[in-house]
Amino acid sequence: MAYKRTVIILSTLFTLLLAANKFYYSLHPNQLTIRPASLSLLNERTHNISFVKRDSDQGRTILRKMYGRYDSCILTGAWPVSTPSAAEFTLPQLRYNGDDHILREHPGLRYRLWQCDAPDVILLGSSMFFCGFSREVFFDKYPGKYLLDFTTGNNTPFIASWLMRYADSSGLKFKPGTIVLYGMNRVEMLASYKDSNSHDYVKQAVAGKIEKRTLDKEIEQFLHIPELRYDLATTLKDKYNAWFRNANVYRAAVPKKYLVNEEALIEYIKNEALVNNSTQEFDPGRVKEVQALADFLQQRDCKLVILKLPQSLYNDKVLNTTGYSWFDQEMQKLEHENIRYIDVSGLPGLGLTQLDYIWPGSIFDPEHLNLQGAKKFTNVLMRQVLDTMLQKKDIIY
């Protein structure tokens, strides 16, 4: 009898714990929680996930800010809009409920929107670009233009090129005169950074190749067991980083005590920066990939503009401890009649330097701008590049 009573008690306790686990994650979703029909927002301050119905008043407001004229396509199309995994795709920033958030959007959505109308402007590049470009600022100034964002986290030329070729293979038409802005980061052109297959998970998500779940997997998903495992693993990883790796500066907001003046900020960045004395030469294979992309776009009468972004001191001079930026020198290898290279990391003609973009209060972490910085940079980018291109179909710079 005692044995049976113990089994019943343990079974009941186990069932209650599973029910509590499911209830908890319904109230406090994490990055693995999937509600594909709703907009998924990540709070930059608290890292909490929240979901907003796309057809609610708040959802409609977010759609107008993030997608402009494409908002009606999203409202009428029964497509997934939120990302299907915890992996980083495109994460545009916006203000929501008094806090800065990033929108975790499904990587296949942009192709659905392209079916509605071809874009006038396409964005390519890494997190430095999607954190530095404000869609809201763009759509405020050009409400009649269509923009699609094909940036990805940890981007390489291989995935940037694949994203454009996938659109072509899907039968999507490129509008003649389309402006393709490639916000390039020096590191993505290095042979040591990722490889040509590093973003296969992006390709699978875009192509919709979803693994068929077994009954066991369905039960796990229903009970939110993957979310529990993910949170436990994340907690352990963070503890490991704190104990053995000092602090991981990437994606860690700069402590406020270092934002009191420019000298304190620079000293913080220097202390956190990796030591690197190499020449940072562009990988020949990546150079060829960008040139092939330029050929591809030229055949479709589209303009490729490569932007040197407002990189922080961390990502330019300080990261390379020789004190010399190799970016401009290496960019000469990308010579092509359909490539326009523009350095918007500092604009001496406007009295702007790299530090002006990130100070005061425009930086999230040493590599990325916050929402305020993104709006500042996008306004300058439009004045110096986009206004002329969209109005005169050319660049005067």
pTM of the model: 0.87
Pick the CATH number of 31-392 from 3.40.50.2300, 3.40.50.1110, 3.30.230.10, 3.30.1780.10: 3.40.50.1110
Q: pLDDT at position 280, please?
A: 72
Q: pLDDT at position 249, please?
A: 43
Query: What's the pLDDT tens digit per position in 273-300?
Result: 655 656 678 999 999 999 999 999 999 9
Determine which helix (DSSP H) or strand (DSSP E) holds 21, and give its type and residue range.
helix 2-27
- Assign residue 339 a region (left: φ > 0; alpha: ψ between -120 and 50; beta: otherwise): beta
Contact present, 185 and 128 (Cβ < 8 Å): yes
Q: Is 298 exposed, middle or buried (0-12, 13-18, 19+ CB in 10 A)?
A: middle
Q: Which of 5-14, 192-201, 207-216, 365-374 has the highest mean predicted lDDT (pLDDT)?
A: 5-14
Distance of alpha carbon 159 from alpha carbon 29, whole angstroms? 30
Q: Which residues contact 4 (CB under 8 A, 6 or more apart)?
A: none
- 110-114, 240-244, 281-285: least confidently modelled range: 240-244
Mean pLDDT of 249-270: 72
Which of the two residues, 145 and 261, has the higher pLDDT score? 145
For the chain, the first-to-last Cα distance in angstroms comes to 86
Please state, rounded to an integer, the average pLDDT across all residues of the chain.
Answer: 84
Which of the two residues, 82 and 211, has the higher pLDDT score? 82
Q: Is the dihedral of CA 307, 312, 314, 318 positive or negative?
A: positive
Residue ranges of domains in the chain: 31-392
